């Protein structure tokens, strides 16, 4: 455990003219316990550091925070990866540390309530999806980000909820989180290049006595795939044969994982990989931090 006094001393070395000195201080600072990160933040807020110190201190904070959140994501996965929103909140905190799971829940609850007001107990599966499509894509205006598809903010659902623009997987995640809060069993399909969703209906979800019955939509899909949904084009619905046609156009060999529901852990990993690719495309240092998380996530 490094004492606060030593942390301050190391910070003072971050603008040392000797590269070996400041790099040694940097490496030692990035190995501090996460509970001491507030010392780094406090020093940064004082505004007394030089430009070089400021830049390197921010990099230290980023690395410490990324490693800590990466460890939390690993714990979430190893504990079963049951709550998708928890993982999405952690991923948001990689860039926006002030975001909480409750913040995201409140915004999703607004969407859920708008859809709930349109629901009634005898809706068919297609009618439920039609209402969700109207609420999300027409009333609230969610859409695909066609002008800046690779931007890293498309991987943070707090920003997608704010801008109403996202990539296929971020829009799908919001759709899934709203749908499952309404007892609508929608799950992710990890199709390469274009993440989609499936409506999975089993005996229980198909025979609810009331649309707002208390029911826990499980994190693992169990039941028959009724149809697929594409969040990126406004919730378009299609069947298995049409999906096979899409895979042929994409020159993809048909595999079970391309047509069957994936796990929440698969979704989190896909988001992390998109985020890594975005940062790498922009030549940002965060790409190496995200890659380290991905490698541990895959191996765990």
- Range scoring the smallest mean pLDDT among 18-22, 182-186, 198-202: 198-202
Q: Which of 37, 57, 79 is the last residue of a domain?
A: 79
- Range scoring the smallest mean pLDDT among 13-22, 76-85, 202-211: 202-211
Among 290, 291, 300, CA closest to 90: 290
Q: Which of 79, 102, 128 is the last residue of a domain?
A: 79
- The verdict on 257 and 201 lying in the same domain is yes
Q: How many domains does the chain have?
A: 2
Q: What is the mean pLDDT of residues 57-76?
A: 94
d(Cα 136, Cα 171) in Å, to the nearest integer?
A: 9
d(Cα 190, Cα 196) in Å, to the nearest integer?
A: 7
Distances, alpha carbon 158 to alpha carbons 141, 173, 270, in Å: 15, 11, 17
Q: Is the pLDDT of residue 47 over 80?
A: no
pLDDT of residue 253: 94
pLDDT of residue 121: 75
d(Cα 298, Cα 81) in Å, to the nearest integer?
A: 14
d(Cα 250, Cα 165) in Å, to the nearest integer?
A: 24
- The DSSP secondary-structure symbol of 13 reads T
Mean pLDDT of the chain: 91
- The verdict on 102 and 173 lying in the same domain is yes
DSSP helix/strand/coil, 167: coil
Report residue 180 as tokens. 């499952």
Q: What is the mean pLDDT of residues 72-76?
A: 97
For 75-96, the pLDDT digits (tens) are 999 999 999 999 999 999 999 9
- The verdict on 167 and 274 lying in the same domain is yes
- The verdict on 67 and 194 lying in the same domain is no
- The verdict on 41 and 150 lying in the same domain is no
d(Cα 112, Cα 175) in Å, to the nearest integer?
A: 10
Please classify residue 130 by burial: count the beta carbons closer than 10 Å to its beta carbon, then call 0-12 exposed, 13-18 middle and 19+ buried. Answer: middle
For 255-272, the pLDDT digits (tens) are 999 999 999 999 999 999
* pLDDT band of 285, cuts 50, 70, 90: confident
* pLDDT band of 231, cuts 50, 70, 90: very high
Strand (E) or helix (H) holding 181? none
* pLDDT band of 216, cuts 50, 70, 90: low
Distances, alpha carbon 247 to alpha carbons 86, 136, 252, 258, in Å: 31, 26, 5, 9
- The verdict on 69 and 139 lying in the same domain is no
218 vs 270: which has the higher pLDDT? 270
- Range scoring the smallest mean pLDDT among 40-54, 174-188, 243-257, 272-286: 40-54
Among 143, 148, 159, 182, CA closest to 107: 159
d(Cα 48, Cα 6) in Å, to the nearest integer?
A: 17
Among 298, 234, 235, 242, CA closest to 269: 298
- The verdict on 75 and 94 lying in the same domain is no
Domain that holds residue 137: 85-299
- The verdict on 90 and 46 lying in the same domain is no
For 114-140, the pLDDT digits (tens) are 999 999 878 999 999 999 999 999 999
Could you tell me the CATH number of the domain that includes residue 73?
A: 1.25.10
Strand (E) or helix (H) holding 186? strand 186-189
pLDDT of residue 3: 78
* pLDDT band of 233, cuts 50, 70, 90: very high
């Amino acid at each position: 455990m490094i004492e606060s006094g030593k942390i301050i001393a190391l910070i003072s070395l971050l603008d040392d003219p000797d590269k070996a000195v400041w790099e040694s201080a940097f490496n030692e600072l990035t190995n501090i316990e996460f509970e001491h990160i507030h010392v780094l933040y406090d020093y940064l807020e004082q505004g007394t550091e030089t430009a070089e110190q400021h830049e390197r201190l921010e990099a230290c904070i980023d690395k410490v925070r990324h490693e800590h959140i990466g460890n939390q994501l690993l714990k979430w996965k190893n504990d079963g990866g049951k709550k998708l929103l928890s993982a999405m909140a952690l991923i948001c905190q990689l860039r926006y540390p002030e975001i909480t799971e409750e913040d995201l829940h409140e915004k999703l609850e607004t969407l859920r309530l708008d859809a709930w007001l349109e629901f009634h107990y005898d809706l068919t599966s297609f009618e439920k999806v039609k209402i969700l499509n109207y609420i999300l894509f027409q009333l609230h205006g969610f859409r695909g980000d066609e002008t800046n598809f690779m931007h890293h903010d498309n991987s943070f659902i707090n920003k997608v909820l704010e801008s109403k623009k996202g990539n296929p997987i971020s829009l799908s995640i919001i759709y899934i989180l709203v749908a499952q809060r309404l007892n609508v069993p929608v799950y992710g399909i990890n199709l390469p290049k274009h993440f989609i969703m499936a409506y999975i209906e089993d005996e229980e979800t198909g025979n609810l006595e009331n649309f707002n019955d208390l029911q826990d939509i499980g994190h693992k899909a169990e039941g028959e795939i009724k149809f697929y949904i594409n969040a990126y084009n406004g919730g378009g619905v299609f069947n298995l044969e049409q999906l096979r046609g899409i895979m042929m156009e994409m020159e993809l060999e048909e595999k079970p994982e391309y047509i069957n529901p994936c796990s929440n852990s698969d979704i989190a990993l896909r988001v992390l990989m998109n985020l890594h690719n975005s940062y790498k495309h922009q030549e940002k240092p965060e790409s190496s931090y995200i890659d380290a998380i991905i490698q541990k996530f895959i191996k765990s």
